[in-house]
Amino acid sequence: MPKKKDVFIIEENLGDLFAPLPAPVPKATSEAERLTIERALATIVRQMEISGNRPRTISDYGIYVKHFEAATGLTFIDEITSDHVYDWLEGMDVSNQTKLTRVKCLKAFLSRCFDNGWIATRFWKKINVKVDGRIKEGATERDIRVLLSVLDLGDFVQLRDATATLLMYKTGIRINTIVLLENKHIDFSAKLLRLDGAIMKNHSELLLPFDDTLCRLLTVLIKQNEAVRRAYGVKNNYVFITKQGGIISNSPTHNNIQKRLNKYAKQYGLKNINPHALRRGFAKSLLNKGANIAQISKALGHSNLAVTTQYLHLDKEEIAENLRKYL
């Protein structure tokens, strides 16, 4: 017999029935009828939550839209113009890369306002910030060997960190996927990560192979996890857990693994030991071993090959040398 409160729970996902659609912008007859930036942001945040957007993405919307609102002194959505956006950018004492990140977020917010029918034209489309094309380097095999050689694999936390580091470098999975990884996602018999859409940024399933070294590390770690959870009376099936057996935060500022990787990088002089560098290192390693960009893009879970090329850290000389092979 189901509990009474259960009858109010809708199990079927109906979120796709009410996606925002472009609509005519109504002419406000009074200030009370005009849509404020604050109200627009609240509605869009709600839409994003229902659509399953990442908490970090939703948080960025709130931070940068509120910063724009405060810096420009604007109140209503229909007041915003290109000049306001340029003034906002000009007033920032930050790098162009940071400006680009912020304006992309604001433009995404304005696009959602347009889709909801609150803005008549996409006036922000041509607004951009030029950034030098400096490509970030990825982790190297040497970086990984140095780090693993100094970690004590007899210590639970260091074993966890070593396994997570090697897993990111050997499979390219994101740190947010790492913290959501469960025992069910690891197929030891086939030596495969079977990643379902629920833990992937692009919501697509992905199969990624792993080697004997990772197989051994994961086997030992999972066994140790059970002992930790029993000691603290915690029940879950996560592969990477805290010292008390709980789930690791996926917030960059509170993620245990990410913070400890930063600590190791400073302690041992390893500049490319961080989640993004490990992912880039995975991509470059595949390229060096003969994988084509389409295969690398699929392994990284990218939907755009242009994004994949940014991970490969190819300089002009290297490109020229590679092209020589086809002459």
pLDDT, tens digit, for every residue of 80-124?
998 899 889 888 888 888 888 899 999 999 999 999 999 999 999
Give CA–CA dist 3/6, Å, rounded. 5
CA atoms 168, 171, 177, 178: torsion sign: negative
Encode pLDDT of 131-175 as tens digits: 555 556 788 888 999 999 999 999 999 999 999 999 999 999 999
Residue owning tokens 């051994």: 216
Contacts of 59 (CB under 8 A, 6+ apart): none
Q: Which residues pair with 206 in a beta bridge?
A: 195
All structural domains of the chain: 17-115 (1.10.150), 143-276 (1.10.443.10)
User: Residue 320 — very low, low, confident or very high, per pLDDT cuts 50/70/90?
Assistant: low
Name every residue whose Cβ is closer than 8 Å to that of residue 145 and which is 6 or more positions away in sequence.
none
Residue 206, φ and ψ in degrees, nearest 5: -150, 140
| Contact present, 44 and 112 (Cβ < 8 Å) | yes
Q: H or E segment at 160?
A: helix 156-171
Q: Where are the alpha helices (DSSP H) in 52-137?
A: 55-72, 82-90, 96-115
Which sign does the torsion angle of CA 145, 141, 255, 225 carry?
A: negative
